[in-house]
Structure 1
Amino acid sequence: MSLVTQHAIMAIGGAEDKIHGKEILQTFFHRCGGPDACIGVIPCASRDPVAIAGRYQQIFGDMGARAIKVMDIRDRSQGEDPSWKTVLEQCSGVFITGGDQVRLCGLLADTPLIDMIRQRAQLGEIALAGTSAGAAVMGHHMIAGGGSGESPNRSLVDMAIGLGFVPEVIVDQHFHNRNRMARLISAIAMQPDRLGLGIDEDTCALFERDGSFRVIGKGVITVVDPSAVTHTNEPDVAASDPLSIHGLQVHLLAHGDRFDWRHGKVVTVAR
């Protein structure tokens, strides 16, 4: 049972270090069981799945993983193939690569494969990581696209249904690198029962089974918490009108910080 308690769900903001210390990828590798790891790689968010899968095959192979299984799914019928169940049963971890989150959900949402991954990850039976697009799909609600450089407003963000691995959050990635604060606030204004997580590049939210996540990496995770909001004009204005939100809480968390996302509070501060 000790191995199971080490498993986790990891949302990575994209452009994680693949060359030097590889801290985030090393953490995932160890959560999968280290040398005993059997890692499934899902590259179908990418338009060049062979190349991107090959990159991670080499990385995890060089780390010493026992086996790496590429789940190269090009259409929905493949995602519904029951033989994936046998493959997934052998895996101690699953890694979802970057690309286009809309493409990823179009291929895999509501398939038996994703249902099984979600169940095993939430039970702590496997480690699950997603980077960039693979992080964007973590919540029930997903940011499918949008703009930047404007005041928060509903038209700034395109919403869709994600894969629901951590249903309570809405994840935006490449966050400060691409100036996405306004679109995350816009998304949270539209879904005020969720917690917004803006994850910078080479930065990861590692969700433990106790309801907290820990920050790993070189950047910051911006938490947008609407639980104490006293007023918003969101229901009453046009889609392109500026949003008014009172009482919105924002936390900036760096490497080593831990946040209890079920109760909306910082529980450990990095030293």
Structure 2
Amino acid sequence: VSIDDGEVPAGELHETLTVPYIIFELADGDVRQRLDQTDGFDLAFVLRALHHSAVGIRQLHDAKVAHQDLKPSNVLDFRDDGCRVADLGRSSSQDGNSPHDNLVIAGDTTYAPPELLYGHISPDWRVRRFACDLYQIGSLAVFFFTQVGITALWHEYLDRTFLPDNWGEGYASVLPHVRQAHDLAFEEFEEQLPDEIRGILGPAVRQLCDPDPGRRGHPRNLSQRVNRYSVQRYISIFDRIARIAEWRLRKTMT
């Protein structure tokens, strides 16, 4: 919940231009700092942070807003009050115009989904924007267990010929190679997962980070009658495994 919002003048050189702002309460830091300050690996915190991030993205999507720049530094830690998604500076509204709507990649390129890295722009706003958010939710999960996002990880497994900066043809022709690189990256990620959540979180991240935006998301959502990019099922999945981790943590403390 914001403390204040409004608009302020952009500066002396732009007397008629205003810039919108939102002020939130001060956080204790972001999730990267929390992980750096924690002794050992706090599975319960990581899974709850992932759950809270997905809830934040769902709230934005319900308002027809895409975040487009979800990454560890934009997930704030409020210690005993959970985590919240922050920095809407690159967000896009389905019902309005944003200054960066003409950009292929609105957010940080190091966390961008592959279709945008290869310049593939869907005419469907939901595919172009909501699918990006799903990919970045999955990438956040990968970061928590490997210390890098999925984009950096699959780049390590892709022949340089097929890297975005070197590829001059369409995305459809390079997609098989990108998918193979993703599969290897998923395997590396899943090797880092605890046994008790590997069979749950592994498939969820594969769905969220599918390199084909047309196949991205929960299989049960891939229907014309529902929002294929709904994150509600993943919220439930993340909440379930977070509760398991929290229960086990409490047991070790008693």
| Same fold, TM-score > 0.5, yes or no | no
From the CA coordinates, give the structure whose radius of gyration is larger: 2
The structure that is strand-richer by fraction is 1
With the length of structure 1 as denominator, give the TM-score of the two structures.
0.29
The structure that is helix-richer by fraction is 2
With the length of structure 2 as denominator, give the TM-score of the two structures.
0.30
